[in-house]
Amino acid sequence: DGFIQYVGAGFAVTLFALMEPLTVAWLRTVFAAVLMLAWRRPWGARALTPRGYLWSCLFGTALVCMNMTFYEAVSRLPLGTTVSVEFLGPVIFAAIGISGWMGKLSVLLAFSGVIMISGLGLDMSNPTERVGLIWALVNGGMWVSYMALGRKVAVLGRGIDSLSVALAFGSCLQLPLAWPDIHIAFSSWSVFGLALLVSLCSSLVPYFLEMVVLCDVSAAIFALLSALQPVTSLLVGLIMLRQVPSWPEVVGL
């Protein structure tokens, strides 16, 4: 999940030279929504309950807010650093929800690694990095909302159908923000193909896997396991984007 998601993020960074991050975030969501709706078709005889639609729309709102704030952050900060900062939210969420000294120790270790990567790897005198840090911190809060609402949708049953509704609703919410640059995505087959690849790697496959996992584990355990993703993002940033980590980032890794 973590590997394929941040490979998609690596491809997304290349699109930032052509269009705004919010447009890339919309493309990521809308392509996934079309594919999921075509597969699941959650209407007619397969329609969700009114309660199911409500929670799916709330989940979709959290999902697109998470995507948009992530792309705003990663357009200003290295991929590994951005992911580490955003996971301060899930790690704190895990600390609240996990009991037992082994669980608390795991959270403490994860928190220490995240702090080493994010807190000591940033130049606070750089205004671009300061703004990126703010976006990454907001993104951390959106991650917590995504996990909590994702767990709620998953335990209601028909989580994959709910995910398709969430993606469709979220893409509608994003449309006004993405509108000015949408034409660029369809300007050539190469740009269109790259945007579709970003959607497959960063949305369709990871969200499907996460919904399956959330059916079986609590949101707090999911948050702790997700703290492994900064490790993946650092490696992907190094290999795909030539973003060499500093020594604090390596220690945190």
pLDDT digits (tens, 9 = 90+) for 47-105: 888 888 999 999 999 999 998 998 899 888 887 778 778 877 777 777 777 777 877 78
Question: Which pLDDT score, from 0 to 100, does residue 119 have?
Answer: 61
Q: For residue 42, what are the CA distances in angstroms to 204, 223, 250?
A: 16, 28, 45
Nearest-angstrom CA–CA distance, 234 and 253: 8
pLDDT, tens digit, 9 for 90 and up, residues 197-251: 989 888 888 888 888 887 787 777 777 777 777 777 777 778 877 777 778 777 8
Average of pLDDT values for 129-149?
A: 89
Alpha-carbon dihedral sign for residues 123, 118, 17, 232:
positive
Q: Count of CB atoms within 10 A of residue 146's CB?
A: 26
Whether the Cβ atoms of residue 121 and residue 249 lie closer than 8 Å to each other: yes
Residues contacting residue 41 through CB under 8 Å, at least 6 positions apart: none
Sign of the alpha-carbon dihedral angle for 3, 101, 108, 148: positive
pTM summary value: 0.81
Does residue 136 have a pLDDT over 70?
yes
